[in-house]
Amino acid sequence: MLTAQNNARLAVKVLGWVVLMAAAAGCQARQTVFNADGMDKGLVIVLPGIDGQTPYSEAACRALAARCADGAGVELYDWTSPLGALHSQTAQERNRRQAAALAERIAGYQAAHPGRPVHLIGHSGGTAIAVWAAEDLPTQASIDGIVLLASSLSGEYDLSAALARSRKGIVNFCSDRDVMLLDIGTRLVGTMDGRHVVAAGNAGFSRPAAGDGAGAYSRLFEVRWDEQSARHGNDGGHFSCMSSRFVARAVAPLLAASDWASATLASSADAGVLLAAGGPAALR
């Protein structure tokens, strides 16, 4: 009996150490670089969803590396937890630490390569890490822009701090067809910021009333799914917005644009290519 109890205690201790080691490993993001030769020209950091680094997120990064006009380096920054997707979605304290570490990574890059463009692209849960990293940048630091794909932040999340740190602003690609994960799923499990509501990747972000931080939101541009998106590989579901075809057509051109406020997405057979225009009419 005593031996059995000792074995049980030992098993509990071993399991505890395994969990602690896994959690410790989860504190270190896993980074894969595409187009390493372009790292001194600019940096595009791609933050995957709660499923972490996958063949489709790698394909998206390769598409970006091939289409980035300035030849910037592309880094797939896997922030997710080794304890699984549910933990990645709900472990807010851990996720905030991941965002703070990414902010340090960005600050280090900018110190080594002053003046080079930095863009963040997040998918699903990775959109929260992108937004929080922008918030955590050192005082007076900023990045060029943030692209959100199927965001699992709540629509009520206050973007004003992240917008203030993003020179071109934030583009949010959203789709009301993304129901299973960004409507039913986030109502049940919660958004990345812990609210049991429809996510911004489904319904978009709420905008503050005039005079209540509304000025910063002039640089929030929302691209809602339509049939043109479907023609370029995005069927409106949760994962197709990260398809290499859609990323190459709709996201890569954004990185090359100098100003998102004066750019729109072409509503033509060439949808996704940015055209100069008198205002962000198609980015709403």
Amino acid identity at 90? T
What is the domain count for the chain? 1
Q: Which helix (H) or strand (E) holds 122?
A: strand 118-123
Which of 1-15, 80-94, 169-183 comes out lowest in average pLDDT?
1-15
Question: What's the chain's average pLDDT?
Answer: 85
Q: What's the mean pLDDT in 127-140?
A: 96
Instruction: Give domain status of residue 17, yes or no.
Output: no
Instruction: Give domain status of residue 7, yes or no.
Output: no
Would you state the pLDDT for residue 13? Answer: 43
Give the tokens for residue 146.
């943030």
Which residue, among 249, 245, 241, 209, has the nearest Cα to 224 in the 3D structure?
241
Would you state the pLDDT for residue 201? Answer: 98
Instruction: Give domain status of residue 131, yes or no.
Output: yes
Instruction: Give domain status of residue 10, yes or no.
Output: no
Which residue, among 42, 60, 43, 40, has the nearest Cα to 51 in the 3D structure?
60
Burial (CB < 10 A; 0-12, 13-18, 19+), residue 172, is buried
Give the tokens for residue 94.
């851990």
Range of the domain at 223: 26-276
pLDDT tens-digit series, residues 163-207? 999 999 999 999 999 999 999 999 999 999 999 999 999 999 999
Instruction: Give domain status of residue 284, yes or no.
Output: no
Edge-to-edge strand order for the sheet containing 73-78? 30-34, 73-78, 43-47, 118-123, 145-149, 170-174, 220-224
Burial (CB < 10 A; 0-12, 13-18, 19+), residue 30, is middle
Q: Quick check: 1 pLDDT over 80?
A: no
Instruction: Give domain status of residue 77, yes or no.
Output: yes
Which of 11-20, 58-67, 229-238 comes out lowest in average pLDDT?
11-20
Buried b or exposed e, range 9-28, using 16+ CB within 10 angstroms: eeeeeeeeeeeeeeeeebee
Give the tokens for residue 126.
């990775």
pLDDT band at 267 (very low <50, low <70, confident <90, very high): very low
Q: At 116, phi and psi to the nearest 5?
A: -80, 145
Burial (CB < 10 A; 0-12, 13-18, 19+), residue 237, is middle
30: CATH: 3.40.50.1820
Residue 217 exposure: Cα atoms within 13 Å on the Cβ side = 17
**CB contact at 8 A, 180 and 131:** no
Instruction: Give domain status of residue 12, yes or no.
Output: no
Instruction: Give domain status of residue 21, yes or no.
Output: no
